[in-house]
Amino acid sequence: MKILVNDGISAKGVEAMENAGFEVLNINVSQNQLKNYINQNNIDVLLVRSATQVNEELIEACPSIKIIGRGGVGMDNIDVEYAREKGIEVINTPDASSRAVAELVFAHLLGMSRFLHETNRNMPMEGDTNFKGLKKAYSDGIELKGKTLGILGAGRIGKEVAKIAIAMGMKVIACDPYLEDFSVSLEFFDGKTLSFDINIISKEDLLKQSDFISLHIPAQEGYLISTNEFDLMKDNVILVNASRGGLVDEIALIKAIEDGKVLHAALDVFETEPTPEIQLLMNPSLSLSPHIGAATVEAQDRIGVDLAEQIIRISTDLI
């Protein structure tokens, strides 16, 4: 089988595929050239991340494709239903990047709680001339222990976020229309485990009770968080979206910051990605990252190997 890896994959993933006897083309083909490339090279497997759009038109035009793989969780850039109607296997790696995303959430939360996203901007400019002033300005940070974290969407990533929060001494509540109350298990360095119960509550109650809110919802029509939702939140709430762009109304977010409702917010994803609005990029109350939730060495290795194992298993069935 011939595999086109169009949005990149780890060396371990390539190695696993090549060791299984597959030909791996680890290159990036532009969207407008993709159809021709697939047909000219008789590609059997197309692997993508979030950049490449695998729509009905592309699927229809490329009859050689037998497997479409998404390195990551969400598959909103793939016409999954149409592909499966055509008999194409569609796979993803829902478990591989959960921990990486969860740790990024807390990188943002810890940074915002101590104003690190601002001090890292201002220390290089004023550290030698206004050290005492900066120290005074950033001396009212807050601790996460004892605070309430509300998780909107308690799937794999949401559960990983809950584990870290519990380990840090936070109270965790969650909202998920597909789940009832659930438990998470924390695994420690010495092999011991402890289980903790998490309550599922309504979205409205979660917004009212949470000191920190983290979003872990698939792409959807319309905003999950907009003006009405911000009005329900506590004053000085801190919000993180490392899920999907378009879940948070960015105009309403800026206003909520200006009105003092939101103390800080972190965005790893954006409505107009890959060209975020300048008012977001320049706002000192925002902690920003360029959609790197799953971008750790370990997660990329897990994604690559996971895809390879699934392709090997499916190819055996196809023979």
pLDDT tens readout for residues 150-182: 999 999 999 999 999 999 999 999 999 999 999
Active site residue 118: no
Please say whether the dihedral angle defined by the alpha carbons of residues 249, 92, 38 and 297, taken in this order, is positive or negative: positive
Domains in the chain with CATH codes: 2-94+297-318 (3.40.50.720), 98-288 (3.40.50.720)
Active site residue 99: no
pLDDT of residue 14: 94
β-strands 193-200, 182-187: how paired?
antiparallel
In sequence order, which ranges of the chain are alpha helices (DSSP H)?
11-19, 31-41, 56-61, 80-85, 98-113, 116-126, 131-137, 156-167, 203-209, 227-232, 250-258, 278-281, 297-318
Active site residue 291: yes
Task: Kindly name the residue from 49, 244, 264, 302 that is annotated as catalytic.
Answer: 244
pLDDT of residue 21: 93
pLDDT of residue 218: 87
Task: Kindly name the residue from 15, 18, 103, 273 that is annotated as catalytic.
Answer: 273
Q: Considering the entire predicted model, what is its pTM?
A: 0.89
Confidence band for 319, pLDDT divided at 50, 70 and 90: low
pLDDT of residue 301: 94
